[in-house]
Chains A and B, each alone.
Chain A
Amino acid sequence: MFWKPNPSSGIPIYLQLVDQVKHAIETGALRPDEQLPGIRKVAGDLVVNVNTVAKAYRELEHEGVIELRQGFGAFVAGNSAESGAQRKFLRALPAMRTAVNRIAQLGLDEQQMRRLFETELTRLRKGSQHD
Chain B
Amino acid sequence: MIEEPIIITRKLRKAYGRRVAVDGLDLEVPSGSICGLLGRNGSGKTTALKMLMGITRPDSGEGRVFGQRINNNQESLAIRARTGFLPEDKLVPGGMTVGELIRFTRAFYPLWRKDLEEHFLRLFHLPPSMTGASLSKGARCQLSLVLALSRGAELLVLDEPTSGLDPAMSEQVLRSLVTLAGEGQTTVLFSSHQISEVEQIADRVCMISRGRAVLSEEMDELANTYQQVRIVFDGKPPVSEFDNAREEGRTLSMLVRGDVEEVVARGRAMHALSVDVAPATLKDIFLTETSEAVE
Instruction: Let me know if A85 is at the binding interface, CB within 8 A.
Output: no
B227-280: which have CB < 8 Å to A?
227, 260-261, 275-280
Please, which residues of chain B bring their CB within 8 A of the CB of A13? 199-200
Instruction: Let me know if A8 is at the binding interface, CB within 8 A.
Output: yes
Size of the B side of the interface (Cβ < 8 Å), in residues, is 33
CB of B179 within 8 A of CB of A40, answer: yes
CB of B278 within 8 A of CB of A48, answer: no
Task: Give the residue of A7, A10, A47, A122 whose beta carbon is less than 8 angstroms from that of B171.
Answer: A47
CB of A43 within 8 A of CB of B179, answer: yes
Report the number of A-B residue pairs with Cβ-Cβ less than 8 Å.
Answer: 74
Please, which residues of chain B bring their CB within 8 A of the CB of A8? 195-196, 199, 281-283
Please, which residues of chain A bring their CB within 8 A of the CB of B224? 125, 129
Complex Cα gap A99–B31 (Å)? 46
Complex Cα gap A57–B53 (Å)? 37
Please, which residues of chain B bring their CB within 8 A of the CB of A49? 34, 178, 181, 201-203, 219
Could you give, for residues 48-84 of chain A, a 1 whenever the CB lies within 8 Å of some chain B CB and a 0 otherwise?
1111100100000000000000000000000000000
Closest residue of A by beta carbon distance from B283: A8
* Minimum CB–CB distance for B127 against chain A, Å: 27
Q: Do most interface residues of chain A lie in helix, strand or loop, or is the interface mixed? A: helix
Complex Cα gap A109–B260 (Å)? 25
Task: Give the residue of A14, A50, A115, A119 whose beta carbon is less than 8 angstroms from that of B182.
Answer: A50
CB of A48 within 8 A of CB of B200, answer: yes
Instruction: Let me know if B103 is at the binding interface, CB within 8 A.
Output: no
A74-131: which have CB < 8 Å to B?
115, 118-119, 122-123, 125-126, 129
Query: Contacts A8-B195, A49-B34, A50-B178: A118 and B282 contacting too (C-beta < 8 A)?
Result: no
Instruction: Let me know if A37 is at the binding interface, CB within 8 A.
Output: no
CB of B260 within 8 A of CB of A52, answer: no
Query: Contacts A49-B181, A50-B181: A11 and B277 contacting too (C-beta < 8 A)?
Result: no
14 additional contacts (CB under 8 A) given A9-B281, A47-B201: A10-B279, A11-B279, A43-B179, A44-B178, A47-B175, A48-B200, A49-B34, A49-B203, A50-B181, A50-B182, A51-B33, A115-B276, A119-B277, A122-B227
A selection of 30 A-B contacts at a CB cut-off of 8 Å is A7-B196, A8-B195, A8-B196, A8-B199, A8-B282, A8-B283, A10-B278, A12-B220, A13-B200, A40-B182, A47-B175, A48-B178, A48-B200, A49-B202, A49-B219, A50-B181, A52-B203, A55-B220, A115-B276, A115-B278, A118-B277, A118-B278, A119-B277, A119-B278, A122-B227, A122-B260, A123-B277, A125-B224, A126-B260, A126-B261
Sorted nearest first, the 7 A-B pairs with minimum C-beta distance are A7-B199, A50-B182, A10-B279, A7-B200, A119-B277, A47-B175, A49-B203
Chain B residues near A (Cβ < 8 Å): 33-34, 171, 174-175, 178-179, 181-183, 195-196, 199-203, 219-220, 223-224, 227, 260-261, 275-283
